[in-house]
Chain A
């Protein structure tokens, strides 16, 4: 029986697909932490729906990574048997839920980016990634809409809701720069038409975020130093705790099924 952590082949395409899968899994897991804790039933369902969309995307991507790597790793192996340093998700998505405003702010900043990303990826020269993108884009488009409505209602709501939403945007802002980062391996894939250069998404992301912030009467944080490191496995302290929760069963009882 397989035990312990797996070693993943560090080829550009495997790494690239795993990083996107990790984004979706970790953010989906964060949303699942709201189960039974949402402020109202309607939002409980909305959060769970978004989480399930993301976990579905993660499964498709992990499965594809497994095909590309061809080392016998399935989606569970990638999710449950890699350590913190093996995860390549954005630091943004591993940040704790905080209050409802913070969860919505995190989801909004990511969703605007990933919706633009999936839309562009529909033209990828990699047929599988293009197909995953076409399905995921419909889901992320709804996430953008839902979160934007909440940003406006909380930002332009009561003094208390405004204060909380502004604090959330301010605190998370330093994690947005990483979304537009590219390393050598990714540059290769961009040149091959497989990946999208995130820099080409920046103008649209900025315009969309600016518009919602303005409508929500929220101040855009000043451009400051940006956090990075998630893509290369250097994470905040939060991811280890998340993974200990996510991976506990498979780590304690390797290969367990029920």
Chain B
């Protein structure tokens, strides 16, 4: 109980830090103006999402080869948390895009990749919800997770290649334009804050899964009596 209060406080502190960085500390960018500030959140979340999915892949491999339930717990936690981060990417992106590009969405390389990535992990979680038996659920979702992760570089290369086949209008003002040192610090600290957030959410979700397993065991004991 105390632990979750402390966690909530850390969560708020991290959020407050990101707010301070974005709205007060970071300077206003020259060409894009205020709207550029969205990138701090957007890019840091994208990075954290990839880290989460990498952890999921590791956990999936570990489960297939060792069959330790803990690996399964880590896998599902990482996938869910990764999906939370991807959602933030997919929401902050369009909010940035509307004033800048005049449209909520374009099927450019990065956005399409992010969308497919999100779909892959939604499918992973859906698959889990469709298999009741815990061992089977762990094994088969891990196997799908492995295939899905191996697909990611292929999706990345194919989408990028596809975009070279069809030349896109040049879009000005990418994230790296005009990097003031305070911007660099903002990016780094934002990335740090969101990594902290990743760890916090991941451990909370992992503990949830561990508790679910102990409930299962207690239930079995109770039924045996």
Answer yes or no: are A and B bound together in one complex: no
